Structures are given as C-alpha cells and as structure tokens.
Amino acid sequence: MTKLLWMTIDRHPDSLKALIRNQLSDAGWEVYEISYDSIDSLESVPLESIDGVLLAPARHFPVQYMDRLTSCKLMQIWSSGYDKFNIDDAHARGIAVANNHGSNAISVAEHTILMMLAISRRAPEMHTRVVTGNWAGNDHGMNSYSLSGKTLGLVGLGNIGTLVAERAQALGMRIIFSDPGRPASPNPRWVKEPFDRLVAESDYISFHVHLTPVTTGMLNSQSMRLTAKKPFLINVSRAELIDRAALAEALDLGLVRGIAIDAHYSEPTTSNDPLYQRDNVFCSPHVAGSTIDSYISTIRACLSNLGSAANAKPINGIIPSR
C-alpha cells in the first residue's frame, strides 16, 4: 500500500481535518497524520518508507526528518503559495515539490471581488451602523465608490489574475495588467502595461504574484508616489509584496484611498497593530482560498499529483529551485 505523511496544523478546524481524512480514505492510502505543533512525533513514523508528503500551507519541513524520506517521490503543498517552504532542501535530496497548481483559484478570485466591493462600499461600517442602531453620521454613500467604469490594475495574470479579470470585466471595469511572464494580452480588451504605468493609471490595484526576492516590496515608497488616482489596494497574495512602512506613509498622505488585506505581515494578527485601527483598512483572516468547494478540489488535485508521482507519471505544479 502506498504510504502518505500528512502534516496538519492544530488550529485548523476539526471539520476541515475530517474533510481531508475522508478524501484520503477514499484514495486508499496508508496515512500517517502528524501535527506541525507536535513535530517530534515524526520520530515514530517510518519515514524511510513514505512515498509522498501532503503539507499544510506556510510551513517549513525540518531538514533532519527530510533526510529520512529516502523513498519519497513528492512533497505536495496544498496551497498555491510556497514561500515559507524549504524547497531547495527537498531538491537537494532528490524530492520534487509541487503546489496546488490553481485548484483554489476560483475561491481566491471570488474573494478578491468581495474585498474590492467591501472596501469600496465600506461594508463593515454599514453592518456596524445597522446592528448597533447608530445611524448618526451616515453619509449616505458619499464616501463609497462603484466598481463600474473604474480601472483595475492586476499585478500578475496567472490562473487567479485571469479569473479576477473576467469577473471584474463583467462588473464593467477596465482591465490593465503587469506580468513579465505574459508576452501579450490573452484578451484584446485587457491591456498590458509596465508596472509603474499600471500604478499610475489604476483605481484599484490587486496583487496576484508569488512572493520572491524580486517581488518582495515591489510596491514601495518610490512607486507609491506614482499613484495619481489614489487607488484602493487589494492584497490576497502575500503582505510583503507591499512595503509596510511605505503603505503606512501612503495611507497617512492619502496616496492610496484604502487597502483590503487577506494575507498579513504577521499571522496570527494582534489587536494592537496600528494598521488595523484605520477606518480605510478592511481585512479577512487569510481565507481567500478557503471554501468547502475549494478544499475538495484542492485535496483531490493534490492526491492526484501524489498518485502520479508514486507511479512515475507527470506531476502538475512542479516548483523550481529558487
């Protein structure tokens, strides 16, 4: 029987773990479930006979245990992001690494639109006014904005960026994008622009690229000065794509109208973080890719990959060395 090591996180809800267990059971694998929060339990696992590893997002696998994975064909990350994982350590031991290759892209794209609408229409404030009965000071929409007719600048036009573009276009938005990996626009109505020009022309800027040494801090104090239209920023990718000090300064100076954030500089967040005290910052707790539907499609895609690796078949979403 094919053997799988499944690395879990204690704070994940029991309902999510049960869903994944059911998927693993249906696949017929012999599964060893170990929590990152009890990493020493790996001592009792026959790691030398493990065929594949299913990894929770945003975690680093201990090298001392990786040395024992002598039969492992694939370490499969069930998120799209992989910046926290020690890819090169796995590659040095001849183990391939893959991400979920866009299986939760629809969920992330839908959440992006949610964030755009929420920050534009001040959804949290509206809800609070209703449930508290505090309608005093209601400005009747004079601090709210429509998406239709606005320019959306997408930083990255991969699986997620493309799905966001399709949905935003249906809402009447003009689409521009910056992506060195796209030699030309896949849609005649979407215009490719250099990053600096995208920053200058956009009413909304949404980030859909992986965090790398090149993309870290790509929106910084210099590029913030180019925001001629005082855009809303939407970041459901990685917080560090936007330089934190430059963001605070831009919010203070009104260079940006506000920001909606799903991925944060420090997770879990703290209640005393000054960033979250601003009324033009809207947040969600890193759940853009998290729905029941996306979990099912993601785990199925990951198990398909692990099965392919165990049988020497092609693998989707292979991550190259840094």
Task: Tell me which residues are annotated as active site.
Answer: 238, 267, 286
Neighbour-count burial of 40, counting CB atoms closer than 10 A to its CB (0-12 exposed, 13-18 middle, 19+ buried)? exposed
Indicate the residue type of 59.
Answer: R
Contact 96, 75 (CB under 8 A): yes
| Cα–Cα dist 207/111, whole Å | 13
- Name the DSSP class of 242: B
| Cα–Cα dist 215/237, whole Å | 11
DSSP state string for 174-185:
EEEEE-TT-SS-
Contact 167, 109 (CB under 8 A): yes
DSSP state string for 44-107:
GS-GGG--EEEE-SS----HHHHTT-TT--EEEESSS--TTS-HHHHHHTT-EEE--TTTTHHH
User: How would you list the strands of the sheet with 174-178, edge to edge?
Assistant: 190-192, 174-178, 151-155, 204-207, 232-235, 258-261, 281-283
Residues making up the chain, counted from first to last: 322
- The tokens describing 250, both together, are 């831009």
Strand residue runs (E) in the chain: 3-8, 30-35, 52-55, 74-77, 96-98, 151-155, 174-178, 190-192, 204-207, 232-235, 258-261, 281-283
How far are the Cα atoms of 98, 105, 145, 186, 239 from residue 161, in angstroms, in the given order? 20, 9, 22, 12, 17
